[in-house]
């Protein structure tokens, strides 16, 4: 059931007819801007019922995702990323696998991070992830 609802949500996200399998959906998530798929179907602008969103998030929880965005905070092994241009502070907080990897990061720099999706975010609270790794 979860895979069907998630596939339906991604079908709505992608323009034109789309019949994506669960594996194809997961492949989308690890592309350079895979987090935008998550944000579009589960974030602030979603049109689904709260029950559908909760079920879709459960299907995505723990999945590998890649986000590309501007660093707004980097400290103590956490990175705050601003992915949407209208966001003030951050759409995503990632706890890094190597806590020292945030030491040399500069605010304002655009980076890509691969991580496991941990908690659901939206309009007021950011999404979160763990086991983050900065990728080229």
The reply to whether 92 and 54 lie within a common domain is: no
What was the pLDDT predicted at 46? Answer: 80
pLDDT band with cut points at 50, 70 and 90 for residue 21: confident
Mean pLDDT of 26-53: 85
pLDDT band with cut points at 50, 70 and 90 for residue 31: confident
The reply to whether 68 and 118 lie within a common domain is: yes
The reply to whether 54 and 96 lie within a common domain is: no
Residue 38 burial (C-beta neighbours within 10 Å; 0-12, 13-18, 19+): buried
81 Cβ contact list (under 8 Å, min separation 6): 67, 69, 70, 71, 72, 90, 91, 92, 93, 94, 111, 113
Radius of gyration of the chain (CA): 14
Where in the sequence is the domain holding 80, given as residue range(s)?
A: 64-135
Q: Is 32 or 68 the better-scoring residue by pLDDT?
A: 68
pLDDT band with cut points at 50, 70 and 90 for residue 12: very low
Dist. CA 108–CA 3, nearest whole Å: 36
The residue written with tokens 């007021």 in the block is 124
Dist. CA 119–CA 111, nearest whole Å: 21
pTM over 0.85: no
Indicate the angle between helix axes 2-13 and 50-60, nearest 10 degrees.
Answer: 100
Q: Among 31-35, 40-44, 67-71, which range has the highest average pLDDT?
A: 67-71
Q: Is 12 or 69 the better-scoring residue by pLDDT?
A: 69
The reply to whether 53 and 26 lie within a common domain is: yes
**Furthest CA-CA distance within the chain:** 44
The reply to whether 40 and 10 lie within a common domain is: yes
- Final residue of a domain: which of 43, 60, 77? 60
Dist. CA 69–CA 87, nearest whole Å: 11
What was the pLDDT predicted at 14? Answer: 45
The reply to whether 7 and 51 lie within a common domain is: yes
Mean pLDDT of 35-55: 86
The reply to whether 50 and 68 lie within a common domain is: no
The reply to whether 79 and 127 lie within a common domain is: yes
Per-residue pLDDT reduced to its tens digit, 82-127 = 999 888 889 999 999 999 999 999 999 999 999 999 999 888 899 9
Both tokens of 107, joined, read 């605010």
The reply to whether 18 and 49 lie within a common domain is: yes
Q: Determine contact, residues 82/118, Cβ cutoff 8 Å.
A: no
The reply to whether 68 and 54 lie within a common domain is: no
Count: domains in the chain: 2
- Final residue of a domain: which of 60, 82, 106? 60
Check which CATH number belongs to the domain holding 100 and give it.
Answer: 2.40.50.140
The reply to whether 55 and 70 lie within a common domain is: no
The reply to whether 79 and 124 lie within a common domain is: yes
């Amino acid at each position: 059931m979860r895979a069907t609802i998630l596939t339906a949500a991604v079908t709505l996200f992608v323009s034109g007819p789309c019949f994506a399998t669960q594996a194809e959906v997961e492949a989308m998530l690890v592309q350079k801007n895979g987090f935008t798929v998550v944000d579009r179907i589960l974030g602030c602008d979603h049109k689904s019922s709260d029950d559908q969103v909760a079920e879709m998030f459960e299907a995505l929880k723990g999945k590998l995702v890649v986000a590309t965005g501007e660093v707004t905070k980097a400290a103590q092994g956490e990175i705050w990323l601003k992915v949407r241009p209208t966001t003030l502070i951050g759409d995503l907080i990632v706890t890094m696998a190597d806590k020292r990897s945030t030491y040399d990061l500069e605010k304002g720099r655009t980076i890509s991070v691969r991580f496991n999706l941990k908690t659901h975010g939206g309009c007021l609270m950011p999404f979160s992830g763990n086991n983050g790794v900065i990728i080229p």
